[in-house]
Amino acid sequence: MFRSLIPPAARGGLSTSFQALQAQTALLPYALLLFGVSLPIYVWAGSYAPNAVWMAASFAIFAINFGAFYAIINWLNQPAARDVGLRGRVQILGALLWAGAVAQVAAFGAGAGPGQEPILVMAAAAAAVCMAFTTPNLAALLIAGPAAAAGPLVAFFALGPTHALMSWGAFALTMALCLVFNRVLRQQFTLAAEREELMSERAVSLSGAQALARSKSDILATLSHEIRNGLTGVIHVLAAACGQVGRAPSREQLNAALDAARDLIAVLDATLDSETAQAGRLTLEVQAFDPVRLARDAALLERPYALAKGLELAVHIEPALEAAGWGAAVADPMRARQILANLLGNGVKYTLRGRVELRVERRGDQLVFQVADTGPGLDADELGRAFEPFRRVDRTGAGVPGAGLGLSLSRDLARLMGGSLEASSALGVGSCFTLALPCDEGAALPLPAPLVEAPAAKAPGLSQARPLRVLVAEDDALNAAMMRAILEQLGHQVVHAQNGRRAVELVQICDFDLLMLDGRMPELDGAETTAAVRRLGGGISATPIIAVIGGEADEAEACMEAGADAVIRKPVSVAAVARAVADAAAGVRAPAPMPAALQAAG
């Protein structure tokens, strides 16, 4: 019932104070109606007053108050009336105008001769109505209510004690009822505000759930399409290689299958990174790095693909960045490399003829990488769509593998590193993508890493002449076989444990130079296995440990907190494993011969 006093357009997200003002505003038209009804009665009663000048002045004041109320009602519809504090003061001022009008009517009635009592009764009624109309707003009720009652009370006290006591009792009862009604209204306003807040939270939750559902649907649709297409090609090639269908695959077919497998890994990596970034759980390692070397390395990796398409891939570096001591870029070098690789890869992928150009220059306190191409170009709508997750431009992306995540993920990564990724494009001309990252004049570039072929005495750790004894704990047989193949390719000896508990048992009966533990295993997971090894004490507890995880930030954090020295994410590559092993195994003790029987343990 009380909620109906508030206009529907003003209900959403309102405070109780604003609701009170809105309810009082909804009553003002009725106050104007009461003015109109009272005016002829007041004129009739005032016609008996002996003082015609005073009566005319009273009519004028009455009309002025009527006009003032009309102006206030019009003002309450203006945008400025949304200010709760200003609105409250204006409405209290309007109530005081009413109280002033009641006081002058009471003063006029005291000398109105035969019309004295009707005019004073009408003034008392007007005071009671003033209290009623200010009831929704407690401040207005406490200020304007007593002010409106003051004039009639003084006049009735002048008539005698009987009239004074009757008027005092009537005003006290009216004020008490108004206060009770105000309390009920405030409770209703509080419930309405809480309901609106719950509805707003529900709308936000529903919107988030719908967005999540769309995201999961897009992920499922994209992954199912990309994985189905990629795996179909790989299966055909593998079936031919096994002699199940047709003749043995050609080198071109094998390369195509390898490219399809790499594309699948890229899609999975991008999907995992995108979901982790959207959840706010993507970890970054911000440090100083050389942007010139980063740009040239990224271009070097893409140059074979560009040459295969007959494209020119050019790199232009600002001369000042070539000089020593200028400073360094400050961001996560791995993620910066990922963004550049994506931009250059897109340029090569979508450009049919012409060139792709990478420029590196400094602009103020930012380091800018610009990747421009002579591809098909995009219009404004297509450019906006290109940055949306799992959205691809049909005109340019038909037949080109990918999940539609590269640009959206790159923009998220740039923002997380304190930079930005912007784009401009023109149909038939090409596109230009600008990555801006922070840089620091005082930052020193890191020293180049020592070569792998360095003598063992000068660079203790991994080298081709120094095989390590590695325990791989992995419950998945295929993953274990892949890890064994990579490590043996790098020249290391491998023992496989099928779960974490078996790994803990093996480290107690044989010395290992390195442990590689899967993050999720039965019996004991990667973090629990790491913690168990660290608790063994002695030299065993100091064995370097690499956690091999599925990509979750929480999983990586748990393994590192348990004591892992490094974390790599599946699917692993030879380069990633070699780098992680070299870093984690730096300073390990000299290997001893491994018992032949133990190589088959697990």
Quickly state the pLDDT bin for 409 (edges 50, 70, 90): confident
Task: Give me the chain's average pLDDT, please.
Answer: 76
H or E element in which residue 432 lies: strand 430-440
Quickly state the pLDDT bin for 532 (edges 50, 70, 90): very high
C-alpha to C-alpha distance for 582 and 462, rounded to whole angstroms:
5
Residue 507 in tokens: 């480290």
538-563 average pLDDT score: 84
Choose among 60, 76, 93: nearest CA to 27.
76
Specify whether 236 is located in the same domain as 171: no
Place of tokens 């982790």: 276
Per the model's pLDDT, the better-predicted residue between 317 and 92 turns out to be 317
555-576 average pLDDT score: 84
Specify whether 343 is located in the same domain as 310: yes
Does 89 fall in a domain?
yes
- Quote the pLDDT of residue 546: 92
Per the model's pLDDT, the better-predicted residue between 571 and 539 turns out to be 539
- Quote the pLDDT of residue 384: 81
Ramachandran angles phi, psi of 330, nearest 5°: -125, 105
Q: Quick check: 449 pLDDT over 60? A: no
DSSP for 454-514, written as a single string: S-TTTS-S-BTTB--EEEEE-S-HHHHHHHHHHHHHTT-EEEEESSHHHHHHHHTTS--SE
Q: Quick check: 192 pLDDT over 90? A: no
Does 234 fall in a domain?
yes
Q: In this structure, are residues 159 and 111 in contact, taking their beta carbons and an 8 Å threshold? A: no
Q: In this structure, are residues 179 and 141 in contact, taking their beta carbons and an 8 Å threshold? A: yes
Does 30 fall in a domain?
yes
Residue 217 in tokens: 């649907």
Specify whether 82 is located in the same domain as 112: yes
Question: Could you write out the three-class secondary structure of 315-360?
Answer: EEECHHHHCCCCCEEEECHHHHHHHHHHHHHHHHHHCCCCEEEEEE
Q: Quick check: 456 pLDDT over 50? A: no
Residue 410: CB atoms within 10 A of its CB come to 25
Here the CATH number for the domain that contains residue 583 is: 3.40.50.2300
Quickly state the pLDDT bin for 591 (edges 50, 70, 90): very low
Q: In this structure, are residues 346 and 375 in contact, taking their beta carbons and an 8 Å threshold? A: no
C-alpha to C-alpha distance for 543 and 507, rounded to whole angstroms:
9
**Strands 545-549 vs 566-569: parallel, antiparallel or unpaired:** parallel
Q: In this structure, are residues 554 and 526 in contact, taking their beta carbons and an 8 Å threshold? A: no
Specify whether 260 is located in the same domain as 296: no
Choose among 511, 495, 485: nearest CA to 591.
511
Does 461 fall in a domain?
no
From 118-127, 243-252, 288-297, the region with the lowest mean pLDDT: 243-252
Quickly state the pLDDT bin for 2 (edges 50, 70, 90): very low
Q: Is 248 helix (H, G, I), strand (E, B) or coil?
A: coil
Does 445 fall in a domain?
no
From 153-167, 524-538, 560-574, the region with the lowest mean pLDDT: 153-167
Ramachandran angles phi, psi of 329, nearest 5°: -75, 150
From 8-12, 321-325, 553-557, the region with the lowest mean pLDDT: 8-12
Q: Quick check: 587 pLDDT over 50? A: no
Most confident of 35-44, 217-226, 236-245, 498-507: 498-507
Specify whether 270 is located in the same domain as 387: no
333-344 average pLDDT score: 86
Specify whether 363 is located in the same domain as 419: yes
Does 291 fall in a domain?
yes
Specify whether 292 is located in the same domain as 258: no
- Quote the pLDDT of residue 467: 84
Does 147 fall in a domain?
yes
Question: Could you write out the three-class secondary structure of 17-67?
Answer: HHHHHHHHHHHHHHHHHHHHHHHHHHHHHHCCCCCHHHHHHHHHHHHHHHH
- Quote the pLDDT of residue 454: 33
Choose among 247, 254, 410, 275: nearest CA to 344.
410
332-343 average pLDDT score: 86
Query: Per-residue pLDDT tens for 462-506?
Result: 344 578 899 999 988 878 888 888 898 888 999 999 889 999 999
Specify whether 173 is located in the same domain as 72: yes
- What is the crossing angle of helices 16-46 and 161-241, to 10°? 150
Per the model's pLDDT, the better-predicted residue between 19 and 155 turns out to be 155
- Quote the pLDDT of residue 167: 80
Specify whether 375 is located in the same domain as 513: no
541-563 average pLDDT score: 84
Residue 465: CB atoms within 10 A of its CB come to 9
Specify whether 40 is located in the same domain as 161: yes
Per-residue CA distances from 38 to 35, 42, 63, 69 (Å): 5, 6, 12, 15
Specify whether 427 is located in the same domain as 521: no
Q: How far is CA 86 from the centre of its chain?
A: 35
Which domain covers residue 89, as residue numbers?
Answer: 2-203
Choose among 296, 329, 298, 331: nearest CA to 413.
331
Place of tokens 């609105």: 87
| Distant-in-sequence, close-in-space partners of 478: CB < 8 Å, separation ≥ 6 | none
Domain count, the chain: 4
Query: Per-residue pLDDT tens for 204-226?
Result: 888 877 776 776 666 666 566 55
Residue 220 in tokens: 């499922």
Specify whether 64 is located in the same domain as 20: yes
Does 213 fall in a domain?
no
- Quote the pLDDT of residue 110: 74
Mark residue 227 as left, alpha or beta (left: phi above 0; alpha: psi -120 to 50; beta: remaining).
alpha
Give this prediction's pTM: 0.45
